[in-house]
């Protein structure tokens, strides 16, 4: 079962307001290495996780694996959090044999074609780069980028796998051959992609 919560904002709330709404039990864990807007958005993300899990949520169970991917020790679930200016999302998978999920959100911010081409040249596969160059818009760029990020988050292999992750293959597979399904949405100026295991 996949559950998702989205928190949209026009003005980012301050940290005290976020703590009042979501509680502060996860603050130390979820804000490690974060500052500014990212710190508050991260707090919101774990607050959304708290809402999705309800009584099952225990911040003391949160751990990070060798690649820094967070997980709740002892709970048969997987979750993924992403944030970008204006939106925070938390996706959760449970009630399946091997829960695994990845989500990414990116806001349009007027990226130049030159900026996007540089990123595509460095991180996209050849097929992805050709797809982007046929339609060099920011929306096309973010469709590919958020899919890559969601797939890497799903895999838990770390961002070093971005270059090896191809979103254009049919069926879509991780570098290790795991078949996945990509669900794409657009919320205002934000592109969202969810990656889940392909159902048989």
Strand partners, 195: 102, 182
pLDDT score of 55? 84
Instruction: Give pLDDT, residue 123.
Output: 95
> Mean pLDDT per 10-residue run, the chain (200 residues)?
94 86 68 80 90 86 86 91 96 91 97 96 96 96 97 87 90 92 94 91
- Strand, coil or helix: 157: coil
- Residues facing 4 on adjacent strands: 91
Q: Which fold has domain 2-98?
A: Ribosomal Protein L22; Chain A (3.90.470)
Domain map of the chain by residue range? 2-98, 105-197
Helices (H), 63-198: 113-123, 126-134, 138-155
What pLDDT, on the 0 to 100 scale, is given for residue 36? Answer: 83
- Give the side-chain half-sphere CA count within 13 A for 23: 12
- Residue 62 has a pLDDT of 87
pTM: 0.92
């Amino acid at each position: 079962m996949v559950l998702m919560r989205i928190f949209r904002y026009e003005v980012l709330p301050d940290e005290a307001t976020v703590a009042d709404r979501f509680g502060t039990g996860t603050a130390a864990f979820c804000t490690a290495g974060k500052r500014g807007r990212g710190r508050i958005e991260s707090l919101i993300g774990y607050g959304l996780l708290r809402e999705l899990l309800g009584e099952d949520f225990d911040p003391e169970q949160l751990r990070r694996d060798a690649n820094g991917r967070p997980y709740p020790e002892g709970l048969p679930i997987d979750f993924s959090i992403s944030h970008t200016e204006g939106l925070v999302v938390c996706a959760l998978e449970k009630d399946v044999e091997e829960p695994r999920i990845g989500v990414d959100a990116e806001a349009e911010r007027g990226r130049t074609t030159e900026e996007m081409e540089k990123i595509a040249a460095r991180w996209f596969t050849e097929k992805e780069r050709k797809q982007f160059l046929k339609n060099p818009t920011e929306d096309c760029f973010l469709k590919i980028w958020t899919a890559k990020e969601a797939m890497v988050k799903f895999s838990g292999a770390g961002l070093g796998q971005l270059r090896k992750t191809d979103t254009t293959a049919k069926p879509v597979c991780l570098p290790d051959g795991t078949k996945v399904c990509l669900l794409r949405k657009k919320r205002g100026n934000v592109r969202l992609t969810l990656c889940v295991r392909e159902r048989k």
